[in-house]
Amino acid sequence: MDFTSSQFPKLIMCHMKPVICRCFVLVIFILVFRTILLSPFPGVHLFQQRGSFWIPASTASNSQLGVRRDKFVEVPQIIWGLNNQKIAFARAILTARFLNRTLLMPSLSASLFYKEIDLLEPISFDKLFHFEKFNSLCHGFVRLGRYSDLSNQTKPFELQKGSGRKWTIERDLNQLKQCRDDSIDKFEVIRIVGKHPFLWRDHWAVKDYAKIFECLVLVDEIENEAMKVISRIREIGAKERSKVDIAKKEFNSDGSVDQPVPYIAVHMRIEKDWMIHCKKLEQKSNISQICSSKEEIMERVAHITGLHKPIVVYLAVADSLLEDGSMLSGWKDGLLPYEKKRLGVWNIYEKYPYLIRSAIDYEVCSRADVFVGNSFSTFSSLIVLSRTQKLISMGIPGACGIDIRLASYAYNILGESRGPKIWMTDMSASSLQSISYGTNNVSCYSNWKAMML
């Protein structure tokens, strides 16, 4: 019953017809996992209600009671890029959890300006993410509250968080521990103040962040916009396929499509700002695998094995590059590059501020059949984290040496047969370091077993 880590990939490999084999193996996996994970080990509940995420037994049993509903943490407006904001939000709510308190729903920032605070258009968390779904998915683990829940019987306690290099992880933890003391705990609200208090490194493991991210579900309006973009991509893919392969019949007689046609998403970081930043980073860290030119990305994507061509390659690029059509040329036959403009979906994005545009792109990449990104980008890293979680929940903890759906790759690192390197998130990591700062040490194994120790 106890699989060792090296047995997983071998189990998945087999020599029947690939498609039949994959379905067969998947079914077996699901059955075996259900049996193992739902069997009544005393005190161990490995599956949560949603059945899609493993958490350690200790967390599961404590969390039955959940965090207090009458004590709160308040945090300043959350800023920077979409993924910095998601990480900062997770830090804020994990801090609240540490203090056994509900987090008052914070404001996010709709724009990317960060040098001038007054230009940071605040946008309520629930304009982007579903408030109720968040609380129901994360029930027992963390909790979001509204300002109307406050009784205002005491003034808030102001907690000044430090920042900068002198503010060590140890000092931060000591400060938080003091806040659990009665003299501070008696306050209804602990208001955290300071300069961007949640941009700094902290105390939580990757699996804790992963749990929070899993509870962040887009509101219906934005989710629908992302679905429109995805169906446009699949529609183009289906047309292109029917041109070269009429026998395959992607279309029914009424023009509808049965099977979603696969697509690749590539998060192409080639804009000028990034190129300057990554060159500096390469010098500073003495790692030569951070920057990839457009040509290198195209070359590596072309060498991904097992792609059924023609296939649409969705290019997630900075808006500043949309005018420059050059990234649309130079792709190998069978790879059909499209960005927002060429897809004809710019009108969808145009309506929204930066934060929401970015959230739509995130969704399009996250749901792609194959994703290729840069392992030094937080955006790419969080997408790979979400895809790794999906694979784990399907019973596929590793992607070493096999073709799987939902595969992710890092184009900045050379992998097998001149392609990009297969990439899964190490779910056992004790901090978000490699995700928020980037790494060239990516592996095709998620290490999820270590999460349960």
Residue ranges in contact with ligand NAG by CB under 6 A: 62, 65, 67-68, 100, 147-148, 150-152, 286, 426, 441, 443
Q: Which is nearer to ligand NAG, 256 or 286 (CB)?
A: 286
Residues 6+ apart with CB under 8 A from 287: 281, 440
Q: Which is nearer to ligand NAG, 349 or 376 (CB)?
A: 376
Calpha distance 230→227 (Å, rounded)? 5
Calpha distance 94→143 (Å, rounded)? 10
Rounded least distance, CB 71 to ligand NAG, Å? 8
Q: Which is nearer to ligand NAG, 374 or 447 (CB)?
A: 447
Residues 6+ apart with CB under 8 A from 421: 409, 410, 413, 414, 415, 442, 444
C-alpha dihedral, 251 to 256 to 260 to 261, nearest 10°: 40
Q: Which is nearer to ligand NAG, 286 or 329 (CB)?
A: 286
Q: Which is nearer to ligand NAG, 11 or 150 (CB)?
A: 150
Q: Which is nearer to ligand NAG, 377 or 446 (CB)?
A: 446
Calpha distance 175→238 (Å, rounded)? 57
Rounded least distance, CB 138 to ligand NAG, Å? 13
For 280, the enclosing helix (H) or strand (E) is helix 272-285
Rounded least distance, CB 180 to ligand NAG, Å? 9
Q: What is the DSSP string of 190-226?
A: EEEESSSTTSS--S--HHHHHHHHHH--B-HHHHHHH
Q: Which is nearer to ligand NAG, 62 or 154 (CB)?
A: 62
The amino acid that residue 146 corresponds to is: R
Calpha distance 365→360 (Å, rounded)? 9
Rounded least distance, CB 431 to ligand NAG, Å? 13
The amino acid that residue 197 corresponds to is: P
Rounded least distance, CB 67 to ligand NAG, Å? 6
**Residue 90 backbone phi and psi in degrees, to 5:** -60, -40
Rounded least distance, CB 441 to ligand NAG, Å? 4
Calpha distance 201→114 (Å, rounded)? 19
Q: Which is nearer to ligand NAG, 152 or 259 (CB)?
A: 152
Residues 6+ apart with CB under 8 A from 310: 237, 240, 241, 244, 334, 335, 336
Rounded least distance, CB 450 to ligand NAG, Å? 9
Rounded least distance, CB 149 to ligand NAG, Å? 8
Is residue 206 within 8 A of residue 425, CB to CB? The reply is: yes
